């Protein structure tokens, strides 16, 4: 197989459905758990000793493990990978040899063509580009160079999944409306993170997964990175049953104030706690609540946890607002406080993959959305600054 892969500028994922391989369930039955993923982790964490540790697995086992588990990932979960476009910007070379950039544009649908090019779809499939969705500024080429273009980087495009562009809008505007994105400003922002002399396969961002090399690698155990991250109306009914039921007799109304001998955190007013808490990891927040009775009592209210949900998981997990509403419909008093806190912790812990927790089911799409929004965070301020610069230029020229 020749050529090389290039990936989505926003999620770092593959731009062709056929890059995603599913394993034969019978072959998977004999595999050690997540062998390929463990191999990658060993390579990253123990560059000097990973080969020794992997010798206990034979090659056939390892080869088979570089495919996704069909029991974890459904084929419908990856259909979104087939809907790709690219962001470009018109330019022309001036007489002095410098490029002058014009309008930004989004290409018609296409796929990655294996040799550095984004190729417009012209087959009979339902994914075919139609004339109805042509961007007026699109130069209407049959193919476009991704990330690099010979010795310079003028005229390149940044390929993406349509779903990812909506998530980019969600990260910037708190709503998944891609038409709100200014194409010129976004192109310039992406260019800041493009290194045409680097690997040139995606932007210089931390995509929160293993580095992808010449071809997309399907790490068995990391299926969530290709699971559909879109916001969907029917997701709530599938998410609600996953929220664990409360303890049969939760401890509420406890007061240990009279036992406190010394609590340096008691000097922290409520407003300061409100400022500090969103910056703490959930583990640190829990530790602080355990360390100080004052902090514990100040953070027991429903309002506090509702606010915590709004400032953290709600950004990448908007469905959590509806889950909270349904949860507290028929409860009141301190049980509401407990449920809001439990929901915050569940939304934080259940949607991030760790060594001890493999995300599965409908949470995979949420975990992927969270990963993508974290990866693109560095683009947001650069984009907003570009936008401001453009607006200042326009006002100045009036």
DSSP assignment string, 188-252? HHHHHT--TTTT-SS-SS--SSPPP-SS----TT-GGGGS-----TTHHHHHGGGSPPPPSS---
Is 379 among the residues that bind Zn ion (CB under 5 A)?
Answer: no
Nearest to Zn ion of 10, 28 (CB atom): 10
* Residue 263 per-residue DSSP state: -
Nearest residue to 88 (alpha-carbon basis) of 71, 101, 75: 101
Query: Which residue's CB is nearer to Zn ion, number 191 or number 371?
Result: 371
Q: Which is nearer to Zn ion, 161 or 300 (CB)?
A: 161
Contact range with Zn ion by CB under 5 A, out of 46-54, 55-63, 157-165, 200-208: 157-165
Nearer to Zn ion, 12 or 282 (CB): 12
Contacts with 58 (C-beta within 8 Å, 6 or more apart), sequence order: none
The correct pick among 6, 34, 40, 161 for binding Zn ion (CB under 5 A) is 161
Q: How far is the CB of 229 from Zn ion (least distance, A)?
A: 8
CB of 105 or CB of 202, closer to Zn ion: 202
Stretch that binds Zn ion, among 25-33, 108-116, 158-166, 268-276 (CB under 5 A): 158-166
164 scored as a contact of Zn ion (CB under 5 A): yes
| Interacting residues with Zn ion between 3 and 32 (CB under 5 A) | 8, 10-11, 13
Separation CA 307–CA 291 (nearest Å): 22
Binding-site size for Zn ion (CB under 5 A) equals 6
Among 127, 197, 159, 113, CA closest to 10: 159
Of the ranges 1-9, 41-49, 60-68, 234-242, which one interacts with Zn ion (CB under 5 A)?
A: 1-9
Which helix H or strand E contains 343, and what residues bound it?
helix 334-349
Question: How many angstroms from the chain centroid is the CA of residue 134?
Answer: 28
* Smallest gap from residue 26 Cβ to Zn ion (A): 32
Specify the residue, 11 or 227, whose C-beta has the smaller distance to Zn ion: 11
| Residue 173, C-beta contacts closer than 8 angstroms, at least 6 positions apart | 180
Binding segment toward Zn ion, per CB under 5 A, in 161-169, 203-211, 215-223, 334-342: 161-169
**Binding of residue 170 to Zn ion (CB under 5 A):** no
DSSP symbols for 29-52 = TTSPTTHHHHHHHHHHH-TTTHHH
Q: How far is the CB of 243 from Zn ion (least distance, A)?
A: 28
Q: What is the CA radius of gyration of the chain?
A: 24
- Which of 217, 215, 91 is closest to 149 using CA atoms? 91
Q: How far is the CB of 109 from Zn ion (least distance, A)?
A: 14
Residues near Zn ion (CB under 5 A): 8, 10-11, 13, 161, 164
């Amino acid at each position: 197989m020749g050529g090389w892969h290039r990936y989505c500028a926003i999620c770092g994922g593959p731009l062709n459905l056929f890059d995603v391989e599913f394993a034969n369930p019978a072959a998977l039955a004999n595999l050690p758990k997540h062998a390929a993923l463990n191999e990658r982790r060993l390579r990253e964490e123990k560059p000097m000793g990973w080969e020794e540790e992997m010798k206990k697995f034979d090659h056939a086992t390892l080869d088979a493990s570089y495919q996704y588990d069909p029991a974890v990932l459904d084929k419908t979960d990856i259909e979104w990978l087939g809907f790709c476009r690219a962001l470009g910007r018109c330019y022309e070379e001036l007489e002095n040899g410098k490029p002058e950039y014009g309008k930004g544009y989004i290409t018609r649908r296409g796929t990655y063509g294996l040799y550095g090019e984004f190729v417009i779809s012209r087959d009979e499939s339902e994914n075919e580009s139609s004339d109805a969705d042509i961007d007026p500024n699109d130069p209407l080429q049959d193919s476009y160079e991704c990330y690099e273009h010979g010795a310079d980087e003028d005229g390149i495009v940044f390929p993406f999944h349509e779903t990812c562009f909506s998530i980019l809008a969600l990260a910037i505007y708190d709503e998944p409306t891609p038409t709100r994105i200014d194409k010129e400003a976004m192109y310039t922002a992406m260019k800041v993170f493009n290194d045409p002399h680097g690997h040139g396969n995606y932007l210089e961002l931390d995509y929160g997964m293993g580095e992808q090399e010449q071809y997309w690698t399907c790490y068995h155990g990391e299926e969530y990175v290709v699971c559909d991250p879109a916001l969907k109306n029917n997701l709530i009914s599938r998410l609600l049953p996953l929220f664990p039921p409360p303890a049969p007799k939760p401890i509420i109304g406890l007061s240990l104030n009279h036992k406190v001998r010394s609590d340096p955190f008691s000097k922290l007013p409520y407003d300061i706690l409100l400022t500090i808490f969103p910056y703490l990891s959930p583990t640190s927040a829990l530790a602080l609540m355990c360390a100080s009775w004052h902090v514990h009592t100040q953070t027991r209210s429903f309002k506090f946890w509702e606010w915590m949900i709004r400032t953290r998981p709600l950004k990448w997990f908007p469905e959590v607002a509806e889950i909270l509403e349904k949860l507290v419909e028929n409860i009141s008093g301190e049980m509401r406080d407990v449920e809001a806190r439990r929901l915050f912790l569940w939304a934080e812990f259940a949607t991030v993959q760790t060594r001890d927790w493999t995300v599965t089911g409908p949470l995979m799409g949420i975990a992927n959305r969270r990963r993508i929004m974290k990866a693109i965070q560095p683009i947001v301020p650069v984009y907003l600054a570009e936008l401001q610069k453009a607006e200042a230029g326009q006002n100045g020229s009036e």
